[in-house]
Structure 1
Amino acid sequence: MLIMDSGEAGSKKERNEEYSINRLPRELIERIFFRLPVSTLLVCIGVCTRWKNLIRDPNFVTSHLKHASHYSLIFFQQDYVAGKHYPSDAILIDKAWSQSTYAVLTIDPDDLLCGSCNGIICLYTKTLTIKIANLATGECLHLEKPIKNLSGDQFLFYSFGFHPLTREYKITHLGDYVEGRP
């Protein structure tokens, strides 16, 4: 029977920590992460708090997009049964042509794509909201339309983009109201 004293056990723990990946410099971990597809990064978020904070950092997201040599594809499937349209899920396909399990966003038949930028999409809905969605993470934000008093949405146009100086996503809204028109 081998008996270790507490001094030996402590040194073994110290040796394990010495070789821990968390001892790598942040810059090196970033360089490794820049080469990974988004679907893999989403798995890495669950490894430790340090990685989660790094991957969720807006500066990292911007840099990852700049380093990306490929782009994911988004497919909106149409569910059409017995002459009726039904809501469907958006499907995100990554570099390896495999479906991401993180992309769960329901697209209603009447939703219209206003634009996409840096992996974020903007959808215009008939339910008086605008959806801003990150299909890689499945996160979705519902915003109320800024103007509700126009007669019908046929007079409205929405667009979506990113302002590089302020580093903010912007929704532009153009409207035309013709008096006396329903």
Structure 2
Amino acid sequence: MSDFLPQEIIHRILLHLPVKSLIRSTLVCKSWKSLIKCPDFIESHLSTTIVSNDEKDSHLLLLSASSEDGHTRHQHHSLRWDSPEFGAHSMLPTPVIYLENKPVSDLGVVGTCNGLVCLEIDRTGTGSDPMPVLIWNPSIRRVVMVPKPPLCSISTDDNRYTTLGFGYAAHSNDYKILRVVTDVTTNVDYDSIDEIFGVVNFADDDRLITTFVQVYSLASGSWKSLSDSVVPLDLKGGGNEDFVFVNDTLHKLEARFNEDEDEGEYYNDEDMVIRTFNLSTEEFGEMMGPEALEQGRCSIARYGDSLAFGDHYDNGLRDRGCDIWVMRQYGVAESWTKLFKIYVDPARIHGFKRCGDVVLEKKISFGQSRLTSYNPNKKQYSDLGTVGHSYYFMDSFIESLVLLDHCNAISYQVAGA
């Protein structure tokens, strides 16, 4: 084909091929391999795929779950069609890494963007030693091992609570990981401390609570610590809420830190705020949720290019459920609009499909849950045929070539292969 078609036509044809076909095409000749691994081609192919998927309405969702077999934990990652039917597309074999010459495949999802998935080994959020983190492209089976961040703590205890967020900074064409760590040190000897790292949330004779923030850049391959002056006083690591990535920005629902003469300093679960971190500017901010909420049991999720807010309530067996609000115009608090009410037993909002259906996770037993879909127009629930695992992550996914040109990306082995 290279002998009969102009290079421009070949380039245009390759741009419209799926990822698997392009990987095979790198074996055709050196010129094709060089073209397909070119950063400009990888970026153009991603843009072309996004437009093509919109035209064909062929979108995918990454669905992740965990299960336990005795003392062994397993991760399950699959792709589903983002459609009312929620049909299965493919399984994604978990990459295997080696720590101290032992294979590790218990890798939970932190977040996903542009075909990349951020994985970490320990999803409990506690522990004194930073756990290994990977950036994974399952479509081309390549992975980058993220270096361990510098230790920024005085504590020798295991009372450390960590939250990670992952997303894309369009301004610098870079993928970044946000790491928020809250350290609880007991029996503090202040006279022996030369320097306190991070923002001091609370301090007395018995406890010192500090929070520090680090950012990893895939482009530079390194971590950096943010200045204490830009870290909010009531920011904290850990908790049950994960970061939600929308519009270059990570979002997390948090309780405000209050000072009260009678109660002292404490986190107020009745005063919630959506904490934001812009990956391009690396600045923190905040958004207000809808007004007139009961608060206490709230959650946020990505809704298209904006945010959805779930206000959970439980007033007895006959009156329990969740009010769903959507921010119609991203960043405008006045645009919060109540869409519908779900009358179900308390269930976690797992995410939203493009058609507007909300996906709910309901616990069946310890370590097992079921996903159901609710259509607000028909007011009908549908069983998605997902049972037997504990589901914890769902977000949109697009197959891409990102990492194909990365110098530190390596091919990996597949669990069980």
Does the TM-score normalized on the shorter chain lie above 0.5?
Answer: yes
Gaps of 5+ in 2: 54-58, 82-87, 97-103, 123-129, 187-206, 210-417
Tell me if the contact between 1:128 and 1:144 (Cα under 8 Å) persists in the aligned partners. no
Tell me if the contact between 2:163 and 2:181 (Cα under 8 Å) persists in the aligned partners. yes
**2:82 matched to 1:85?**
no
Cα distance between partner residues in 2 of 1:155 and 1:23: 61
Cα distance between partner residues in 1 of 2:135 and 2:121: 11
1:164 is matched with which residue?
170
The Cα offsets for residues 33-62 of structure 1, whole Å up to 9 and x where unpaired, read as 222211111111111111111111121111
SS in 2 for 1:155: strand
1:131 is matched with which residue?
134
1:115 is matched with which residue?
111
Higher strand proportion (structure 1 or 2): 2
2:147 corresponds to which of 141, 144, 157: 144
Q: How far is 1:90 from its partner?
A: 5.0
Tell me if the contact between 2:164 and 2:178 (Cα under 8 Å) persists in the aligned partners. yes
Q: How far is 1:132 from its partner?
A: 0.9
2:27 is matched with which residue?
46
Tell me if the contact between 2:137 and 2:143 (Cα under 8 Å) persists in the aligned partners. yes
The Cα offsets for residues 2-31 of structure 1, whole Å up to 9 and x where unpaired, read as xxxxxxxxxxxxxxxxxx425633332222
Tell me if the contact between 2:111 and 2:167 (Cα under 8 Å) persists in the aligned partners. yes
Cα distance between partner residues in 2 of 1:104 and 1:30: 32
SS in 1 for 2:183: coil
TM-score by length of 1: 0.67
The Cα offsets for residues 75-121 of structure 1, whole Å up to 9 and x where unpaired, read as 5575643x343556756689xx77589x6623733x32111111111
1:140 aligned partner, one-letter code: V
SS in 1 for 2:133: strand
- Once the two structures are superposed, the pairs formed by residues 61-72 of structure 1 within 5 Å of their partners are 61-68=42-49, 69-70=52-53, 71=59
1:17 is matched with which residue?
none
Q: What is the root-mean-square deviation in Å for CA atoms of aligned residues?
A: 3.4
Gaps of 5+ in 1: 1-19
1:34 is matched with which residue?
15
Distance 1:25 1:117, change over 3 A: farther
Q: How far is 1:123 from its partner?
A: 0.8
Distance 1:72 1:146, change over 3 A: same
SS in 2 for 1:179: strand
SS in 2 for 1:140: strand
TM-score by length of 2: 0.33
Tell me if the contact between 2:95 and 2:105 (Cα under 8 Å) persists in the aligned partners. no
Distance 1:26 1:162, change over 3 A: farther
Decide which moves more: 119-128 or 34-43: 119-128
SS in 2 for 1:65: helix
Higher helix proportion (structure 1 or 2): 1
